[in-house]
Amino acid sequence: MAKKPAAVEGTTKVVGIFGDPVDHSLSPRMHNAAFAELELDYVYVPLRANRRNLKEAVRSMRALGIVGANVTVPFKQDALKLAQRLTPTAKAIGAVNTLYFDDKRLVGDNTDGVGFVDALAAHGLRARKKRVLIIGAGGSARAVLHGLLEAGAADVVVANRTLSRAAQLARDLSRRDSRVRAARLDLLDDFDFLETRQLVVNCTPVGLKGETFLDYDVDSTPRDCLHFDLAYAEKPTPFLAMAASRKRPTVDGRYMLLFQGAAAFKRFTGRRAPLAVMAKALGIKLPG
């Protein structure tokens, strides 16, 4: 049974999440369950900010004794300028999703890429040498591509509605030992290409408002091609529903949320995250 959260005392350390909106966020539930499990004197709270007061809000962390924070939509890029030091990962991705203090300096890090790769590994897929299709070229695609390249993916194609954005992403993150190409969305029904993919990642919000997914020929992918949607909802997203209906293995975005949260938890507390408890708080199970 999940442990009850401890009472907030005068000694309790505060961690939060900056976002707008932030009321839908599952992070407070996930982190508070982890604090309770490890009997840590911490509490995780939503911190709603807006573009006008974000700087003031982040600066106030020190004054208020807030020991760390996550950053979500739409502030991940704004937060880059507010940290006193950036990790190489945050710099490369160009966004911050985790703020914590190290030696009194506010550090900006990004755990989205590693969270994605850890979620894959939990489902038995090592990114090393894999052939991947990323659909979308926005902020989350940047983190996913960075995570995949760090983990040794060999051949990644980024297909996007706006080709120039995918091309920019490929240029920004390409490295010598991996092949990254940009493409238009019409690649999504190219049999010769799709039959070579081992992983397809949806980094667009398409389908979340009830619309059908893009024109994508899932049947052309190999039977064991893993389909990962960063988005998640009460029901399987249209992208995952399509993949599941053709018997392809699927993973939803809550797994990335879990593993990016676990990496952030380590930064906030110095402790290893209790994954099973955090997964349960998100309504998912650790595979295996």
Please give the positions annotated as active site: 76
| Contacts of ligand NDP in 248-277 (CB under 6 A) | 253, 256-257, 260
* DSSP notation for 205-240: -TTTTS----S--GGGS-TT-EEEES---SSPPHHH
* C-alpha span between 124 and 107 (Å, rounded): 32
Q: Pick one of 53, 84, 162, 212: the residue that binds ligand NDP (CB under 6 A).
A: 162
Residues with Cβ within 8 Å of 206's Cβ and at least 6 positions away in sequence, in order, are: 213, 214, 238, 239
Residue 161 interacting with ligand NDP (CB under 6 A): yes
Evaluate whether 47 touches 59 at the Cβ level (below 8 Å).
Answer: no
Q: Pick one of 13, 165, 246, 280: the residue that binds ligand NDP (CB under 6 A).
A: 165
Beta partners for 70?
17, 98
CA dihedral over 120, 133, 284, 266, signed as positive or negative: positive
* C-alpha span between 185 and 180 (Å, rounded): 16
Name the residue among 154, 142, 252 with its Cα closest to residue 197. 154
Residue 29 interacting with ligand NDP (CB under 6 A): no
Q: Pick one of 30, 34, 106, 137: the residue that binds ligand NDP (CB under 6 A).
A: 137
Site string for ligand NDP, 92-131 (x = CB under 6 A): --------------------x-------------------
State how far the alpha carbon of 11 is from the alpha carbons of 8, 101, 190, 239, in Å.
8, 18, 59, 46
Number of residues that bind ligand NDP (CB under 6 A): 23
Q: Look up residue 109 and give its amino acid.
A: D
* C-alpha span between 168 and 118 (Å, rounded): 26
Q: How far is the CB of 187 from ligand NDP (least distance, A)?
A: 13
Other Cβ atoms within 10 Å of 23 Cβ, number? 8
Residue 19 interacting with ligand NDP (CB under 6 A): no
Site string for ligand NDP, 196-225 (x = CB under 6 A): -------xxxx-x-----x-----------
Q: How far is the CB of 40 from ligand NDP (least distance, A)?
A: 23
Residue 278 interacting with ligand NDP (CB under 6 A): no
Q: Pick one of 19, 108, 136, 238: the residue that binds ligand NDP (CB under 6 A).
A: 136
Question: What is the separation, in whole angstroms, between the first and last Cα of the chain?
Answer: 20
Q: Which is nearer to ligand NDP, 12 or 174 (CB)?
A: 174
Site string for ligand NDP, 32-71 (x = CB under 6 A): ----------------------------------------
Q: Which is nearer to ligand NDP, 186 or 192 (CB)?
A: 186
Q: Which is nearer to ligand NDP, 12 or 184 (CB)?
A: 184
Residue 139 interacting with ligand NDP (CB under 6 A): yes
Asked if the bond preceding 236 is cis, omega within 30° of 0, the reply is no
Binding site for ligand NDP (CB under 6 A): 112, 136-141, 160-162, 165, 203-206, 208, 214, 230-231, 253, 256-257, 260
